[in-house]
Amino acid sequence: MSTESVARSGLHESSDVRDDATASLAAREYALFASLGRMRPVRSGECLFRRGDVGRVMYLVVEGEVELDFGSDLALKRLGPHEFFGELGLLVGEHTRSADAVAACDGLLVELGEDGFHNLVERDPNLVAQFLRRAITRVVLNEQGLIRQLRRRNHDLETALDNLYATTHQLNQTEELVRADELTGLYNRRGLALHLQERRRAGFSGGVGLLLVDCDRFKRVNDEHGHLVGDRVLQNIAGMLRSAAGPDDVPCRLGGDEFCLLVQAQSREEVLRYAEFVLATTRNLLHLQQAVPNICAVSVGACLVDTGREWNDWYACADEALYEAKRQGGNRVCWAGEPPASGSGGP
C-alpha cells in the first residue's frame, strides 16, 4: 500500500474530531502522519519492542492489531487501525518502553522517527499541537487507569492476606488442639514431641532435667468416687505442675495418670528442687482435702538428660527412677541410678 493510498484511507473518517482519551488519530492527523512515516509490514507474533528497551520511534496501525503487555498481571491492551502507540519513545529522549508490543496478526504499521516528527511540526504545527495535547492527556489517563488497577489489586491482595491470616489463625488453633490434652490443657504426647522437635532445630540452650510424675493408687479414686472425681484430681495435678513450671519449662500429660515436667536445669540439685516442690504441694493438699478427694499422692522419677539423645532414652532414665519410687511405696522422689534424696521419702 502506498503512502498516498494510506493517506486517502484516513480521509474516510467521518470526523476530524477525536476524544482526547482515545489512541485513534483524527482523519487529518492520520493522513499527515502516514504521509511522512515509513511503512512497515508485520507478521503475527512479531515483536516491535520489549519492556525496558529505549524507544525512539512511534507507531501508527494501518492494518491488523498490536497487543501491548504491561506485565505485572495488568490488563493487556489491543490497538487497531488508526490508533497510535509508542509516542513517548519519540517525544521523550531516551524513554524506556513500559510494555511489550507484539503484532496480534499480520498487518501494516507506519513508523515515525525523529526526522519524520520534525517534518510534521514544520508541515502543520497546529495539528501537531493538537496531537501532543491528545498524547499528554492519554498518558495521564493511562496513569490514572494504572493507579485504579493497582488499587484494585491492592484491595484484592489485602483481602487475600486477610483470608490467609484467618486461615493461619484457624490452623494455629487446630494445631494447639492437636497438641493439647483435652482434659487438662497441658501438652499431650504429640505436643511434647513437636516441642522437642522445635527445640532441637533451635538448639538446646543449657541443661535439661526430666520429672516423671505418676499418681499413686489413682485407680482407687476412680473405683470409689467415680471418673468425674478422678478427672478433677488429674486437673488439679496438672494445675500443680503448671504452677511448678518456669517460663521455659514444659508440663505434659503423657496419658492416663502419668505426667512429666521438662525443666531447664544444670544440676541434680536444681531438678530435685522441682521434684520437692511437687511432693510438698501434693502432701499439703492431701492434709486439707475432705471425704471426696481432689488430689492424690504422687511418685516422681527425676534425672538430667543428654540432649544429644532421643526422648525414649530420656524417658527410660526417668522411668527407672519412677519405678524405684513406686517400689518403695510411692509419695516420694527417686533419682535415676541413685538412692532417694534426703527428705524425699513418704510422710
Q: 233-245, pLDDT tens digit by residue? A: 999 999 999 999 9
Task: Look at 67-71, 91-95, 133-137, 261-265 and tell me which has the smallest mean pLDDT.
Answer: 91-95
- pLDDT of residue 9 exceeding 50, the answer is no
pLDDT of 141 above 50: yes
pLDDT tens digits along 60-79: 999 999 999 988 767 788 99
pLDDT at 167: 63
Domains of the chain, start order = 3-148 (2.60.120.10), 189-335 (3.30.70.270)
pLDDT above 60: residue 344: no
Question: What's the length of the chain?
Answer: 347
Measured distance CA(253)–CA(199) in Å, rounded: 19
pLDDT digits (tens, 9 = 90+) for 202-217: 888 889 999 999 999 9
Could you tell me if 103 and 66 are in contact, meaning their C-beta atoms sit under 8 angstroms apart?
yes
For residue 346, pLDDT beyond 50 = no
pLDDT reported for residue 120 = 82
* The pLDDT value given to residue 20: 45
Q: Is the pTM above the cut of 0.85?
A: no
Q: Which of 18-32, 131-145, 172-186, 314-328 shows the highest mean pLDDT?
A: 314-328
Average pLDDT over the chain, rounded to an integer: 83
For residue 46, report the phi and psi dihedrals to the nearest 5 degrees: -70, 135
Tell me if 188 sits within 8 A of 252, measured CB to CB: yes
Q: What is the mean pLDDT of residues 223-249?
A: 93
State mean pLDDT over 1-20: 38
Q: What pLDDT score was predicted for residue 291? A: 82
Model confidence pLDDT, tens digit, residues 77-130: 899 999 988 888 777 766 788 889 999 999 999 998 888 888 888 888 888 888
Residue percentage of the chain with pLDDT more than 70? 86
Beta bridge partners of 102: 47, 67
Residue of 174, 179, 173 whose CA lies nearest to 194: 179
